[in-house]
Amino acid sequence: MKYAREILSDVEGYVPGEQPKTADIVKLNTNENPYPASPKVLEALAEMGPDALRTYPDPVASKLRAACAKLYGYPNEAWVIAGNGMDEILALALRTFVDPGDAVLTPYPTYSLYKILTQLHGAVYVEDDLDDRYQLCESFFGRKARLCLLSRPNAPTGVASPREEVERLCKEFEGIVLIDEAYVDFAEDSCMDFPRRFENVIVARTFSKSYSLAGMRLGTATANPDLIREFLKTKDSYNLNAFTQAAGIAAIEDREHFEVTVAKVKATRSRLTDALRGLGFAVQQSQANFVLARWQGQPDAEGIFEALRARNILVRYFKMRGLKDCLRISVGTEGETDTLLEALRAIIR
Amino acid sequence: MKYAREILSDVEGYVPGEQPKTADIVKLNTNENPYPASPKVLEALAEMGPDALRTYPDPVASKLRAACAKLYGYPNEAWVIAGNGMDEILALALRTFVDPGDAVLTPYPTYSLYKILTQLHGAVYVEDDLDDRYQLCESFFGRKARLCLLSRPNAPTGVASPREEVERLCKEFEGIVLIDEAYVDFAEDSCMDFPRRFENVIVARTFSKSYSLAGMRLGTATANPDLIREFLKTKDSYNLNAFTQAAGIAAIEDREHFEVTVAKVKATRSRLTDALRGLGFAVQQSQANFVLARWQGQPDAEGIFEALRARNILVRYFKMRGLKDCLRISVGTEGETDTLLEALRAIIR
């Protein structure tokens, strides 16, 4: 391509999990929440009038950021930036803190978008393999980079590094540590207090999973105000539309709905984990709204993936080193989980 | 700032026009449409249910892009990309077609965001002054750069380069020419046919002005499918939320509302231009939904800007070379225009 940048020639672009158009599908492949968002969200959106369409939205999303700061235990909006999904937050972190040619450190395996964003930015992607329990190896702590992207709980493993290990990393690492807490509301603990304690730590969150707002695109980063000020320079001037800002505020306000939904997902995750183990899958305790299930039998994992697909059940299969014998399965409703387990029983006999 | 990129130290970030919180303001400073969007848009949004919130939106916005392609006279969605406002489209053009260190060419004066985006990308901003009728000089055609950003009609001048001149530029320029048609629906003609004829031309549009959807954030780029394919690599995976996609489709479908609204704005622009000239302002014929009014008398332009502000009337004043004796005034409703003209008469006596 004559006009495009050379660095794009190697980039395929992120391949999102399949989004089928038909309704008949049990969709356990993109870690969406199986339960709806708080009804308060649609109520808030229904109140938006013609002026919310016609006029520019608040460019710095002040009310939303203030609501997030309160939720996350920070004094005010100066500690938070809101973005057009976690995608934008991650891309902004690169554009704000990494020069082309600099290194970006991640464990392997992890969220595959990290690598693509790093390539698009012209930075150098450095991976350090997790051990066989999906924990950081000692070598990880010796690596040098401008930015470390640490998904906690990690995707697609579902495993969270112990807080003490992350704390050690934040202390020893010379660059920025971005802790991606996309799945943390399903986990036992969070590192949301770290930005107060470490000047080099960013904690990123999304409303796509625990708040059931994937369709609205809302992510946040929490960090000390000096870092947030730099973030604000690199974001698009009006990066968050008026509806997404209103949806986020309404979702935060309905705490009860949030807690009930998260509790249901965690209960089903527990049942799913036990049932998969009973079928012979090796499943580590997940702290996310999905499980990674390892399978050594016949048909192989890819065969199971295809067989499920033929039955209109979508899960995620990664043809990647260390994951070829695994399926990543989102936690669905109780009924979807029954359907999945029944199909698995039939497929593996 | 220890952790941020060196290139950010000189960047102030884009300063959007003031967004007052009170209702009592005549707001003629950000080129919003004074008339509401089609009522079909709010109707379409009211039909969005919990699943539109819960699930990921179409990552490539197929239906919306197909609707835009039809609107723009192109065969299918492969010719169009949709972005989170024109802001994202412009930023993507840099990320897709310009390497850090490369040159980006624009006329001066033009939309001030171009310079900020170029700085953020680490590219070199090259300006070539417009002549005193706000037209491109011969020197512009000799410049070399990776990307040319040409706002047509131009902001803040309101003047459009003749199509033949833009055609000559597209033929002679060795890089990508992005024609920013944010205001073109208020103009006499468009260059939307150029992407079919030139492999290096991108035409960008926004729904913020003529469609009264500034609050939704929707912009598009039209170009040959080879360029669009590269664009798709650099955009965030889910860059457009479900509501914005639906709003765009609904707005396109209500052609009558669009035409009536645009006609009203053009009629008021005509009256505003005549009245300003009658008051002694020098106003070139605008092809946008604002006018640039030059003023040589007393109080000076900045004084008028402040005096209007004291009367709760916001217009835009740019403290920039060549613009210090000008006011940029958005075309408001008939009533807002009366209020403005009455205030001006009182201020300049």
Best of B7, B217, B226, B330 to substitute, by most chain A Cβ atoms within 10 angstroms, is B217
Q: Verify whether the Cβ–Cβ distance A241 to B241 is below 8 Å.
A: yes
Q: Which of A100, A234, A247 sits opposite B100 (nearest CB)?
A: A100
Best of B235, B237, B239, B254 to substitute, by most chain A Cβ atoms within 10 angstroms, is B237
Name the closest residue on chain B to residue A47, using Cα atoms. Answer: B46
The pLDDT tens digits for A109-149 are: 999 999 999 999 999 999 999 999 999 999 999 999 999 99
Distance from CA of B297 to the nearest CA of A (A): 33
Best of A12, A217, A254 to substitute, by most chain B Cβ atoms within 10 angstroms, is A217
Q: Which of A35, A54, A95 sits opposite B214 (nearest CB)?
A: A54
Residue for token pair 């939309």: B111
Instruction: Decide: helix, strand or coil at residue A197.
Output: helix
Which residue type sits at B245? Answer: Q
Beta A26-27 vs A313-314: how paired, if at all? parallel
Residue intervals of chain B classified under CATH 3.40.640.10 are: 39-253
Helix-strand-coil percent breakdown of chain A, rounded to 5? 45, 15, 40
Domain B4-30+256-348 CATH superfamily: Aspartate Aminotransferase, domain 1 (3.90.1150.10)
Q: Verify whether the Cβ–Cβ distance A236 to B200 is below 8 Å.
A: no
The predicted pLDDT at position B192 comes to 98
Task: From chain A, pick out residues whose CB is under 8 angstroms from the CB of B36.
Answer: 50-51, 53-54
Q: Which residues contact A319 (CB under 8 A, 6 or more apart)?
A: A302
Per the CB < 8 A criterion, the answer to whether A54 and B36 are in contact is yes
Q: Which residues contact B70 (CB under 8 A, 6 or more apart)?
A: none
Q: Verify whether the Cβ–Cβ distance B214 to A52 is below 8 Å.
A: no
Write the class of the CATH domain A39-253.
Answer: alpha beta
DSSP A67: H
Q: Verify whether the Cβ–Cβ distance A233 to B120 is below 8 Å.
A: yes
The predicted pLDDT at position A255 comes to 98
Distance from CA of A16 to the nearest CA of B (A): 7
Gap between the Cα atoms of B222 and B98, Å rounded: 18
Per the CB < 8 A criterion, the answer to whether B248 and B117 are in contact is no
Q: Which of A37, A96, A242 sits opposite B215 (nearest CB)?
A: A242
Backbone angles phi, psi at B169, to 5 degrees: -60, -45
Q: Verify whether the Cβ–Cβ distance B87 to A236 is below 8 Å.
A: yes
Distances in whole angstroms, Cα of residue B321 to Cα of each of A25, A53, B329: 60, 34, 18
Distance from CA of B115 to the nearest CA of A (A): 13
Task: From chain A, pick out residues whose CB is under 8 angstroms from the CB of B230.
Answer: 1, 3-4, 8
Q: Verify whether the Cβ–Cβ distance A16 to B59 is below 8 Å.
A: yes
Per the CB < 8 A criterion, the answer to whether A85 and A218 are in contact is yes
Q: Verify whether the Cβ–Cβ distance B56 to A16 is below 8 Å.
A: yes
Q: Which of B176, B217, B244 sits opposite A3 (nearest CB)?
A: B176
Backbone angles phi, psi at B54, to 5 degrees: -70, -35
Gap between the Cα atoms of A8 and A2, Å rounded: 11
The predicted pLDDT at position B209 comes to 98
Name the closest residue on chain B to residue A60, using Cα atoms. Answer: B16
Residue intervals of chain B classified under CATH 3.90.1150.10 are: 4-30+256-348
Gap between the Cα atoms of A220 and A66, Å rounded: 12
Per the CB < 8 A criterion, the answer to whether A71 and A258 are in contact is no
Best of B54, B210, B316 to substitute, by most chain A Cβ atoms within 10 angstroms, is B54
- What is the DSSP track for A211-255? T--GGG--EEEE--HHHHHHHHHHS-TT-S-HHHHHHHHHHHH-H
Gap between the Cα atoms of B57 and A35, Å rounded: 16
Q: Verify whether the Cβ–Cβ distance A244 to B241 is below 8 Å.
A: yes
Distance from CA of B337 to the nearest CA of A (A): 18
Per the CB < 8 A criterion, the answer to whether B200 and B169 are in contact is no
Backbone angles phi, psi at A314, to 5 degrees: -100, 125
Q: Which residues contact A155 (CB under 8 A, 6 or more apart)?
A: A31, A110, A111, A182, A183, A288, A290, A328
- Tens of each residue's pLDDT in chain B, 349 residues: 789 999 998 887 667 767 776 778 999 999 999 999 999 999 999 999 999 999 999 999 999 999 999 999 999 999 999 999 999 999 999 999 999 999 999 999 999 999 999 999 999 999 999 999 999 999 999 999 999 999 999 999 999 999 999 999 999 999 999 999 999 999 999 999 999 999 999 999 999 999 999 999 999 999 999 999 999 999 999 999 999 999 999 999 999 999 999 999 999 999 999 999 999 999 999 999 999 999 999 999 999 999 999 999 999 999 999 999 999 999 999 999 999 999 999 999 8
Name the closest residue on chain A to residue B5, using Cα atoms. Answer: A97
Q: Please give the ipTM for the structure prediction.
A: 0.96
Task: From chain B, pick out residues whose CB is under 8 angstroms from the CB of A230.
Answer: 1, 3-4, 8
Distance from CA of A296 to the nearest CA of B (A): 32
Name the closest residue on chain B to residue A11, using Cα atoms. Answer: B233
Low-confidence stretches of chain A (pLDDT < 70) are 17, 21
Task: From chain A, pick out residues whose CB is under 8 angstroms from the CB of B54.
Answer: 32-33, 35-37, 212-215
Instruction: Decide: helix, strand or coil at residue A48.
Output: coil
Q: Verify whether the Cβ–Cβ distance A215 to B55 is below 8 Å.
A: yes
Gap between the Cα atoms of B218 and B231, Å rounded: 16
C-alpha torsion sign, points A71, A73, A78, A84? negative
Distance from CA of B296 to the nearest CA of A (A): 32
A-B interface: how many C-beta pairs under 8 angstroms?
A: 233
Peptide bond into A225 cis (omega under 30): no
Q: Which of A42, A57, A233 sits opposite B8 (nearest CB)?
A: A233
In terms of Cβ atoms closer than 10 Å to its own Cβ (0-12, 13-18, 19+), residue A11 is middle
Q: Which of A37, A56, A233 sits opposite B53 (nearest CB)?
A: A37
Residue for token pair 């209109």: A312
Residue B16: left if φ>0, alpha if ψ -120 to 50, beta else—which one? beta
Q: Verify whether the Cβ–Cβ distance B244 to A247 is below 8 Å.
A: no
Best of B92, B213, B238 to substitute, by most chain A Cβ atoms within 10 angstroms, is B238
Length of chain B in residues, anyone?
Answer: 349
DSSP A286: P
Strand partners, B108: B129
Distances in whole angstroms, Cα of residue B211 to Cα of each of B3, B46, B249: 41, 18, 11
What SS3 string covers chain B?
CCCCCHHHHHCCCCCCCCCCCCCCCEECCCCCCCCCCCHHHHHHHHCCCHHHHHCCCCCCCHHHHHHHHHHHCCCCHHHEEEECHHHHHHHHHHHHHCCCCCEEEEEECCCCHHHHHHHHCCCEEEEEECCCCCCCCHHHHHCCCCEEEEECCCCCCCCCCCHHHHHHHHHHCCCEEEEECCCHHHCCCCCCCHHHHCCCEEEEEECCCCCCCCCCCCEEEECCHHHHHHHHHHCCCCCCCHHHHHHHHHHHHCHHHHHHHHHHHHHHHHHHHHHHHHCCCEECCCCCCEEEEECCCCCCHHHHHHHHHHCCEECECCCCCCCCCEEEEECCCHHHHHHHHHHHHHHHC
Residue A269: left if φ>0, alpha if ψ -120 to 50, beta else—which one? alpha
Listed residue (B105, B6, B155, B113) closest to A237, CA to CA: B113
Listed residue (A276, A314, A310, A262) closest to A29, CA to CA: A314
The predicted pLDDT at position A21 comes to 67
